[in-house]
Chains A and B, each alone.
Chain A
């Protein structure tokens, strides 16, 4: 543990104003009231670094890649300076028994207080033999680490919902973290991989308030997963006008029309790609001409084909169709309402204190 965060940042040449600016943008992305950035900055600047243990299970390391390579020299990386990452196989220098000892140590010293991050699903078939670390099964390690943690972050679709390992016929009997741990607060950050800023947003929230953000019915932070891709897609006006690309190289594709008929799962997928984008805000899948795969929804791999248009209109789709009839105006009102739904606090553009935000 070191002194207040702002001092650590200052030593790395990150000024107070850079930090304030970052917090203002983060608060905006998290749909917190506009003045929340300052409250967050104050709280985070004074925060001591919490211990974090990161367990990798049945995974491809894509989630770790997404977070650590977000952009360089990364502002996201600042958040990693705000935590004390005591165990992360891929990033830590220690290996073998040393690494396992570091985990045991951190768990003992911070019992009841550490934050547990999990990426990857947990295989249950054959007593969990499909994935072991240091001779112990994933399920075993998870139960032990979960017992002493304050809260769990399930990073990526595998830890959140089972992900690709769970895809039909699920040979390893893969399950999600929430299938096993029932007695701890769990936040799911699905995505294959998840967007880096969602991860840092959740960490910032935890550092600021000491609790997890408000979650939707699938355990995802509402601030990032409150809208569907389709709600916020810049190609949405084409959808509303009935202008669709039918192949990847027809006139419609060249004109940048809606990718619905090419299998876009945007209408039923809750994620922040359309607003936050990828690679430091450079672009995102639909902008590069490919439909959304639905990677932040449970069982997206078994959704019936990435290039098959959605057939059974789910709720969000009906909703979109209604908006199409009334026209673009309704679309705007709808996204406005969604935004309002996400955060009641947003409604008042007023000064916010930490106490207000904690409500």
Chain B
């Protein structure tokens, strides 16, 4: 039986669109603070978007304002994650999805390079072993 055969409309939003709550603009100020700190002290920071009362419209607004930058990173690890630089360099929009494609968490990170992108020294060491092995086989 297909889903259409069940006479229920899934209504996720109240009729008349939830719209903007006004909770998104203050985040821009907070981001400015965080960017300043990154430049002054090199200290990275992050905002957990799933923890804030933001409607889909708020998130769209924020996404629109920040725009997209030059770098888009896709990470395949138990579902896809995207780590995309926004139009403001150093401000990254990070979305984690599970294997079904549902968003499990969403962050804005203020950092030169998100931690997840960097290779860990211990993993690099494993790569080194692999290379050595390849060369010994030549």
Binding site for B on A (CB under 8 A): 15-18, 20-22, 24-25, 28-29, 31, 33-35, 38, 75, 234, 237-238, 241, 253-256, 280-282, 287, 289, 328-329, 332-333, 335-336, 339, 346, 349-351
The smallest C-beta distance from B117 to any residue of chain A, in angstroms, reads: 9
Q: Which residues of B105-120 have CB atoms within 8 Å of chain A's CB atoms? A: 105, 107, 109, 115-116, 120
Chain A residues, CB < 8 A from B47: 34, 349
Q: How many residues on the B side are at the interface (Cβ–Cβ under 8 A)?
A: 40
Q: For chain B, what secondary structure do more than half of its interface residues adopt (helix, strand, loop), or is it mixed?
A: loop
Chain B residues, CB < 8 A from A33: 48
- Does B128 lie at the interface of the complex (its beta carbon under 8 Å from any beta carbon of A)? no
Chain B residues, CB < 8 A from A18: 77-78
Given contacts A31-B51, A336-B53, A349-B47, contact A256 B100 (CB under 8 A): no
Q: In the complex, are the beta carbons of A335 and B53 less than 8 A apart?
A: yes
Query: Could you name 18 residue pairs across A and B whose Cβ atoms are closer than 8 Å?
Result: A16-B120, A16-B122, A17-B77, A18-B78, A21-B77, A21-B78, A33-B48, A38-B115, A254-B9, A255-B9, A281-B98, A281-B102, A281-B104, A289-B8, A328-B14, A339-B52, A351-B44, A351-B45
Chain B residues, CB < 8 A from A350: 43, 45
Binary A-proximity of B11-42 (CB < 8 A = 1, otherwise 0)? 11110001001010000001000100000000
Q: In the complex, are the beta carbons of B12 and A332 less than 8 A apart?
A: no
Chain B residues, CB < 8 A from A16: 120, 122-123
Q: For chain A, what secondary structure do more than half of its interface residues adopt (helix, strand, loop), or is it mixed?
A: helix
- Does B84 lie at the interface of the complex (its beta carbon under 8 Å from any beta carbon of A)? no
Binding site for A on B (CB under 8 A): 7-14, 18, 21, 23, 30, 34, 43-48, 50-53, 75, 77-78, 81, 96, 98, 100, 102, 104-105, 107, 109, 115-116, 120, 122-123
Shortest beta-carbon contacts, A-B, top 10 = A256-B11, A237-B14, A34-B46, A18-B77, A34-B48, A25-B105, A28-B105, A332-B53, A25-B104, A336-B53
Given A75-B78, A328-B18, A349-B46, 14 further pairs, Cβ under 8 A: A20-B116, A24-B96, A34-B48, A34-B109, A35-B44, A237-B13, A254-B8, A256-B11, A281-B104, A287-B10, A336-B23, A336-B53, A339-B53, A349-B48
